[in-house]
Amino acid sequence: MATLKVGDKAPAFTLLNQDGENVSLSDYKGKNLLVYFYPKADTPGCTKQGCSVRDASKELKKLGMAAVGISPDEPGKQKKFDDKYGLGFPLLSDPDHKIAKAYGAWGKKSMYGKEYEGIIRSSFVIDGKGKIAQASYKVKPLDTVPNATRVLT
């Protein structure tokens, strides 16, 4: 699994959001962007992570940072997740894992002694020039926001 480091160019993406609209990295040119990868909508860890980003939205905005979450879930499932918790930011669908792989957020995992491939919970801050300003792999759900804001404060 290739991983991204501070200073690397962020891989471009265009994915469908929970409303079926295309969202691209280029939409955030000139702005800071928190991009986080999560395994599955409406599961305990992913809900904690999404709600923590929602709850920090004012703080992120003050820092000039937008946020997007990316998972393999289809837009309809993302929409239910957003509606249920009022997340209020783009949740992007990456069903073929292409973008997760480009960010190094897809790889081998194990649970109960079984190995499988899946999303490695990860978060990134991308600066206004499209460069990685912060990268965290195997991030804990509630560490996503503090890791991101630390870069800009």
HSE, side-chain direction, 13 A CA sphere, residue 46: 20
Q: How confident is the model over 121-140, as pLDDT tens digits?
A: 999 999 999 999 999 999 99
Distant-in-sequence, close-in-space partners of 89: CB < 8 Å, separation ≥ 6: 53, 54, 57, 66, 67, 68, 69
Distant-in-sequence, close-in-space partners of 68: CB < 8 Å, separation ≥ 6: 23, 33, 34, 35, 36, 89, 90, 91, 92
Q: Determine which one of 16, 46, 100, 133 is catalytic.
A: 46
Share the mean pLDDT of the chain: 94
pLDDT computed for residue 151 by the predictor: 87
Q: How far apart are CA 23 and CA 33, in angstroms?
A: 13
pLDDT computed for residue 116 by the predictor: 79
Is 51 catalytic? The answer is: no
Q: How far apart are CA 27 and CA 84, in angstroms?
A: 26
Q: How confident is the model over 89-119, as pLDDT tens digits?
A: 999 999 999 999 999 999 988 778 888 789 9
| Model confidence at 1: pLDDT above 60 | no
Q: How far apart are CA 153 and CA 143, in angstroms?
A: 16
Domains of the chain (ranges; CATH) run 14-20+28-152 (3.40.30.10)
- What is the mean predicted confidence (pLDDT) over 62-90? 97
